[in-house]
Structure 1
């Protein structure tokens, strides 16, 4: 029987070159420091996107704010700005130190994208932004809109009739599909969401209730994207939102950094070389966390340290970055099943665009077991009365791992951060959760309680 080759080499050769692959294959939690990490100045040399691009994206969202405030009442209080709170979680911090028997230096905070209006997850940033950009381009092209107009006119029937001639499609594990489906249907587009096998039933039901066509697949995320792209390409009036390669999505996510900077300033929280910022971002294909990390590096440069969190069953970005194969390798290639409770992170093949953009900007990637996600989710609910889905709990593990893992301590030492950790701020990015049905959230918590009891027995 012939050995299957990965980029021209058998798996054993890759394992010899990167021994950590063996730990990934047995689903062991790992903490991988990125050897290609460089200063911002050096890392940004070969990246074509700039701060100006992010500022343009922010300006577009501001143009659409009157429309959003009009059609989504939940955004009225923020005048149509889609934003989430940044909160301290000192009780969770204390609980984590007690349970894991470790000292986590610095201040622990939560960026509550689980509370984002419209679609309840980080995808309300990039997903909604890309659809708005497409809608604006169409309306400008057909002389129905001018930049100086009050964009609330897009709620009028003539615009809905206009957009109904066009289609939008996307492949998704769930949350991106929700954001694309909800905003596209509201504008009047015909919209199809291609859902992978791990997408939760309630997400499909919610989309269908909004008039969205949901196509289900028995395979994973990559297949849903591939089929969605193929069907969309056959229709000249269809626009495909490409989570793997879209710069529009990426820039929509990057706007979060501008907003976060303002929130930190309002809270009198300094970010500079003496007051480092550590940000922990759950990662699926990479678009959301990649865009946020890119925006943060543009603004805070070497004072911010960005970490991606992936499930042990879906460590696609880690595998792509470590081997430098990016989207030319999948977790299935090394025998990992890509089946995880963290449905939003159940991606087997990473975005090559994001991996290549961030390969010198990303500090590290760590992996988390599903049982730990439930445990962290429940610890957050009990200590802070804040509710996230399993995917979003991955970010909570970062400060714990940074303090406990030898590789985390190596990172701190290597970058001369040891004396500065007491003044550090840790932000775990809570990527989704507030649209999870209450009964399901209770189930998640029960699983988490049980996992915690088992953990404490060991």
Structure 2
């Protein structure tokens, strides 16, 4: 069953080059795409085990995790209040609200927090500080003094650096976050407030990452979190699938190939949606379909699906600007690691306009009081565009993955609400 329409590559490339929204099935898709992967469900389960071992320590350093016992997780919410806008029935639309994810408030928190924890565990083991079964010992003065001699370095558009900087500083590690000019000022300010060093770059995301990598490679006490090439980060993102499996069971959702769940994931460099896709396919197989969503000005994963043999191709090469109100998705070139791991597993792609994302920021706030960044609303804009063209079984369910927004200061969020809804039943300019 092909839910998303196929289109000739030339037609799609013309749309991408013109900055026009488009929908297309992944031309590289193959069954059992993960069969020969070097990573597996066992790796995801091992990562989940590490997160649970660290939970008591996380609860101690982040008071907001008191109720969950140190587990960082977001709710799965019914989207009944929004279903009619896209022509769905009640209980067909669900929202995986990473916009409300504790600690860092975005999908990036899973991978970012996980990689920092894995690094801290390595340091502690080498120093003989880790008491098996009691990771709370890593919050001791002795452990923090040990961690203080190491610095975690990362390049980011904003949300990944935000999650890594907060976690590193909470454990006593140094944090150096290289951020592109697109990153939001409030995220930089909050990082500086907790003691992270923020280095700003006039160039784009790739420039920030390249500089962060160069600096880290020259200093053995600096650990580089590579958003483009880190399998640790990738597996941290993939743990979301195990949590979602539990939430599906609680909601009475049973994905099957005849009644699939279609998940819409906002995508920048590809790490978070790629890791989540890997996890979902490892856990559910083809009973869950994944659709990656990108801005019309930064469709880097979509472009690579059309040009799979060109790892360095960028959105600039097809005349796009990489400028978008969805700053977390302002990335010119997809991660080659992610593309190799899940490029044949993703089911489809959608590119959406800035006005469409902003319309959904307004609508989700008005009707559900969901506080979203534009990138967090991208999945709704994509869903609205896809559904009229989709072959959809009557029992299919749809999950929009939101990210970023709950922690937005009022003076950042309120201007987004000045954008008027274009009409009662559409998502604005396309």
TM-score bin (small chain)? over 0.9
Larger Rg: 1
Distance 1:391 1:284 in 2: 9
Match of 1:415 in 2: none
Deviation (angstroms), 1:336:
0.9
The 5 A counterparts of 1:403-422 are 403-405=387-389, 409=390, 412=391, 418=392, 421-422=393-394
Asked whether the equivalents of residues 106 and 426 of structure 1 are also in contact (C-alpha less than 8 Å), the reply is no
| 2:93 matches 1:121 | no
Asked whether the equivalents of residues 104 and 400 of structure 1 are also in contact (C-alpha less than 8 Å), the reply is no
User: Root-mean-square deviation (CA), in Å?
Assistant: 1.8
Deviation (angstroms), 1:274:
2.6
Deviation (angstroms), 1:135:
0.3
The more displaced of 29-38 and 19-28 is: 19-28
Match among 154, 171, 177 for residue 170 of structure 1:
154
Match of 1:401 in 2: 385
Structure 2 gaps, min length 5: 1-7
Match among 113, 127, 146 for residue 142 of structure 1:
127
The TM-score normalised by the length of structure 2 is 0.94
SS in 2 for 1:134: helix
Match of 1:426 in 2: 398
The 5 A counterparts of 1:334-373 are 334-373=318-357
Match of 1:82 in 2: 72
Match among 47, 54, 64 for residue 64 of structure 1:
54
Deviation (angstroms), 1:19:
3.9
**More helix per residue: 1 or 2?**
1
Distance 1:229 1:291 in 2: 21
Asked whether the equivalents of residues 194 and 228 of structure 1 are also in contact (C-alpha less than 8 Å), the reply is yes
Deviation (angstroms), 1:397:
2.3
Distance 2:152 2:244 in 1: 30
The TM-score normalised by the length of structure 1 is 0.89
SS in 1 for 2:177: strand
| 2:241 matches 1:257 | yes
Match of 2:38 in 1: 48
Distance 1:326 1:391 in 2: 26
Asked whether the equivalents of residues 74 and 97 of structure 2 are also in contact (C-alpha less than 8 Å), the reply is yes
Deviation (angstroms), 1:442:
1.5
Match of 2:3 in 1: none
Distance 1:105 1:309 in 2: 24
Structure 1 gaps, min length 5: 1-15, 413-417
SS in 2 for 1:198: coil
| Structure 1 residues 319-356: Cα deviation after superposition (integer angstroms, max 9, x where no partner) | 01211035320001122110000000000010011111
Distance 1:216 1:325 in 2: 32
Residues 105 and 328 (structure 1), Cα distance of their counterparts in 2 relative to 1, 3 Å cut: farther
Distance 2:30 2:288 in 1: 12
Asked whether the equivalents of residues 80 and 91 of structure 2 are also in contact (C-alpha less than 8 Å), the reply is no
| 2:38 matches 1:38 | no
SS in 1 for 2:77: strand
SS in 1 for 2:294: strand
Distance 1:227 1:376 in 2: 35
| 2:115 matches 1:130 | yes
Asked whether the equivalents of residues 317 and 326 of structure 1 are also in contact (C-alpha less than 8 Å), the reply is no
Asked whether the equivalents of residues 277 and 304 of structure 1 are also in contact (C-alpha less than 8 Å), the reply is yes
SS in 1 for 2:34: helix
Deviation (angstroms), 1:103:
5.6
Distance 1:44 1:260 in 2: 19
Deviation (angstroms), 1:401:
2.2
Residues 453 and 219 (structure 1), Cα distance of their counterparts in 2 relative to 1, 3 Å cut: farther
The 5 A counterparts of 1:262-301 are 262-301=246-285
SS in 2 for 1:423: coil
Residues 435 and 326 (structure 1), Cα distance of their counterparts in 2 relative to 1, 3 Å cut: farther
Number of equivalences: 422
| Structure 1 residue ranges (4+ consecutive) displaced by more than 3 angstroms after TM superposition | 16-19, 102-106, 450-458
Distance 1:456 1:32 in 2: 19
Distance 1:144 1:116 in 2: 30
Deviation (angstroms), 1:36:
1.8
SS in 2 for 1:434: coil
Residues 80 and 455 (structure 1), Cα distance of their counterparts in 2 relative to 1, 3 Å cut: closer
Deviation (angstroms), 1:46:
2.5
| 2:378 matches 1:386 | no
| Structure 1 residues 52-85: Cα deviation after superposition (integer angstroms, max 9, x where no partner) | 0000000000010000011101001000000000
Deviation (angstroms), 1:457:
9.6
Match of 2:15 in 1: 23
The 5 A counterparts of 1:106-117 are 107-117=92-102
Asked whether the equivalents of residues 106 and 424 of structure 1 are also in contact (C-alpha less than 8 Å), the reply is no
Match of 2:4 in 1: none
SS in 2 for 1:347: coil
The more displaced of 421-430 and 283-292 is: 421-430
